[in-house]
Amino acid sequence: MKRLVVVILVAALAWSGAWFWQAHAQRKAIDAWAAELDARGIAVTWDDLVIRGFPNRLDSTFTGFASSDPQNDLKIEAPVVQVLSMIWNRDHVIAALPRGAGLTRNGKSYALDGEGIRASLVRHGTVLQRVHVEATVLNLSGEISVAMSGVTGAVTLADGETAYRVAFNADDFALSAPTGRGALRLDATVDLAESAAAPHMAVQNVTAIRLTRMELELGPLTLAAAGTVDVDADGLLDGAVSVRADNLSEAIAAERAAGGGAPRMLLAIEQAVSLFSGLSGRKDGIEATFEFRGGKTWVGILPIGPAPHLR
């Protein structure tokens, strides 16, 4: 019996030592990560960092977290950021924002809050294999305000290391404007110029977007889109996206009755709907293909504006 007790005590001490060594290594890895970002001109700071989770987990909790990227005019702040992992699998982590976050981009500020906001990330070496996100409630407020619930999403590595499949679903979706509530579904594939082993270049690395489907229900309005576009070195889109929208008159009437939108803007939208409805031969909807070429957006032979930029 004494021998068994000794063995148990030695094993417990050894495991405790291993955990504290892992916690120390975790702290060094976080400091190295911050130093690497700093070398690229991205500042990452926090007021406090605590690592807990003994005996099976490494739970890193940042308070007063902030990240600033002057090159892209981007700043992120979060009161609390949690990064959780099991001690025997450091390539699988769960990140959570229990008190939301704030984002500023190009002088415009947005606030993110809700319930159950978390993401699960799996890496293999330096390559991000997949990300799953979920939130019971997710609210984004700012220049554009969106409220969602039943949120799930996934980004999964596909086609070797040069493409990611992106899926997103919100069971309940609403904008700040009085357009009613609905749902949002998205399925697409994003092609990369280089291996996904360099995720810090993800946006600059995008060469094409294959939109399998995008479906939005918002009050009486239903909207669906699909298509493929290439992205050039300047972020300019080139390709075509087919769009179908139904119940547009009812949606505009509901917006007008609720006092949403400027009357002149609603009138202009109504006139545009009438024009495109006539072109597509549909009474209360639009079915058209928007082409992006030569730096412009076209519908048939009509240029209607500049082509979108991804970055």
pLDDT at position 25 is: 84
Say if CB 173 and CB 182 are below 8 A apart. yes
pLDDT at position 275 is: 56
Residues for the chain: how many in total? 311
Taking the CB of residue 107, how many other CB atoms lie within 10 A of it?
A: 6
pLDDT at position 65 is: 96
Spatial separation of the C-alpha atoms in residues 91 and 197, rounded to whole Å: 14
Give residue for tokens 């981007």. Answer: 74
pLDDT at position 294 is: 85
Contacts of range 253-262, beta carbons closer than 8 Å, 24 or more positions apart: 254/178, 254/179, 254/180, 254/219, 254/220, 255/177, 255/178, 255/179, 258/178, 258/179, 259/178, 260/177, 260/178, 260/179, 261/177
Local structure of residue 206 (DSSP, 8 states): E
pLDDT along the chain (311 residues), means of 10: 58 63 86 90 94 88 94 90 88 93 88 93 85 94 87 88 90 76 91 66 77 88 90 86 80 61 50 56 71 84 79 67
pLDDT at position 126 is: 77
pLDDT at position 111 is: 93
pLDDT at position 265 is: 46
Cβ-proximal residues to 297 (8 Å cutoff; 6+ apart), any chain? 290, 291, 303, 304, 305, 306, 307, 308
pLDDT at position 95 is: 94
The angle at the Cα of 71, spanning 66 to 72, to the nearest 5 degrees, equals: 75
CA-closest candidate to residue 167, choices 184, 151, 189, 187: 187
pLDDT at position 202 is: 59
Domain ranges of the chain: 220-311
Rg (CA), the chain: 24
Spatial separation of the C-alpha atoms in residues 62 and 94, rounded to whole Å: 14
Residue ranges in the chain assigned as alpha helix (H): 2-39, 202-205, 248-257, 263-280
Q: Which amino acid is at 119?
A: A
Backbone angles phi and psi of 268, in degrees to 5:
-65, -40
Burial class (CB in 10 A: 0-12, 13-18, 19+), 192: buried
- pLDDT tens-digit series, residues 234-283: 888 899 999 888 877 766 666 666 555 544 444 445 555 565 555 555 56
Q: Spell out where the chain has E strands.
A: 43-45, 48-52, 57-69, 74-86, 89-96, 101-105, 108-115, 118-124, 127-141, 146-158, 163-175, 181-192, 206-218, 221-231, 237-246, 285-293, 296-299, 302-306
The angle at the Cα of 311, spanning 35 to 62, to the nearest 5 degrees, equals: 35
Distances (CA, A) of 300 to 135, 178, 244, 306: 41, 32, 15, 15
Q: What are the structure tokens assigned to 76, written together?
A: 């992120």
Q: What are the structure tokens assigned to 21, written together?
A: 């060594």
